[in-house]
Amino acid sequence: MVTAELAVAIPSVVLVLALCLGAARAAVDQIRCIDAARVASRAAARGDDPARVRALAAASAPAGATVQVSGVAGGGVRVTVSVRTGGSGALPGWDLSASAVTPVETTS
């Protein structure tokens, strides 16, 4: 009797554990996207070379992330970092993104 109950319970526990680990990985990737956008936005606002801005973002972002740099009205710089995470096996993936806007620094 216990064997049949255990045979049903173990796959359920494994599934819940896989979902929890996937959610934790997504949370870490989201934090990395936020950090990458922030670092790259500050570098762009300082006037760093666009290649350096993208390199800084790529160094902080999760693997496979895309980086978009654009200007905003009022003299600011917006950096958006996006990545698709999760999606192993039958589990769905998530599209994550983070943006940071920083005003352009002026030199006196």
Q: Give, in degrees to the nearest 5, the angle at Cα 3 between 91 and 13.
A: 25
Q: Where are the alpha helices (DSSP H) in the chain?
A: 2-46, 50-60
Does residue 5 surpass a pLDDT of 90?
Answer: no
Which pLDDT does position 15 carry in this prediction?
86
> What is the tens place of the pLDDT at every residue in 45-94?
998 888 999 999 999 999 999 999 988 878 889 999 999 987 766 667 88
Share of the chain above pLDDT 70, in %: 94
Share of the chain above pLDDT 90, in %: 53
What distance lies between CA 15 and its chain's CA centroid?
A: 24
